[in-house]
Amino acid sequence: MRLLVLLCLTALAGTALAEASAGCDPDGDSKAFNRCRVCHASAPGAADLSGPNLWNVVGRDAGTGPRYRYSTAVVESGLTWNEQSLREYLANPSLTIPGTRMASAPISDPDTLDAIICHLHTLQGD
Ligand code: HEC
């Protein structure tokens, strides 16, 4: 548990340390991520569902996960997934990337966004 918190804080350090310490609790966070699980696997090597596997999503260029066939909109978005771009995309997918096939409800609650993005930072490794 303590290790996870540390990993999470380390991952966020430099970009949003204040937000990290305020909102980063990996235990609570995986609950906020439940709304994503219907479309996204998140274990290393797990098959894509209707959306791409989100293992190692933080830090990768949009539309470059292994195997998944993305919309042209995501591939050509020029985004790299970081704190800021994830926040914007999750807050309003089709406004951030017009033409994206991700049909999830916009998330406006900042605490929920913090929790989900914190959890995404824990999905890292070989
Ligand atoms: C209704 C299904 C659905 C839900 C719910 C959903 N997504 Fe997605 N997501 C998708 C699809 C489909 C794509 C691929 C979009 C495209 O290619 O246009 C995607 C793409 C993404 C990407 C881009 C990944 C990459 O490799 O470039 C991220 C990040 C993402 N989703 C995060 C989330 C998170 C976090 C949640 C929960 C808050 C969530 N999604 C909820 C279907 C969904």
pLDDT in tens, 57-103: 999 999 999 999 999 999 999 999 999 999 999 999 999 999 999 99
Q: What gap in Å lies between CA 59 and CA 62, rounded to an integer?
A: 9
CA 93–ligand 1 middle distance (angstroms): 8
Rounded distance between C-alpha atoms, residue 22 and residue 51, angstroms: 29
Provide the mean pLDDT of the chain.
Answer: 86
Measure the CA–CA gap between 94 and 105, rounded to whole angstroms.
10
Q: Is 23 in the pocket of ligand 1 (CB under 6 A)?
A: no
Position of tokens 């409800």?
105
Indicate whether 11 pLDDT > 90. no
Distance of CA 101 from the midpoint of ligand 1 (Å): 8
Q: Residue 126 — very low, low, confident or very high, per pLDDT cuts 50/70/90?
A: confident
For ligand 1, whether the C-beta of 102 sits within 6 Å is yes
Query: Band of the pLDDT at 54, cuts 50, 70, 90?
Result: very high
Tokens of 23: 């909102």
What CA–CA distance (Å, rounded) separates 91 from 98?
A: 13
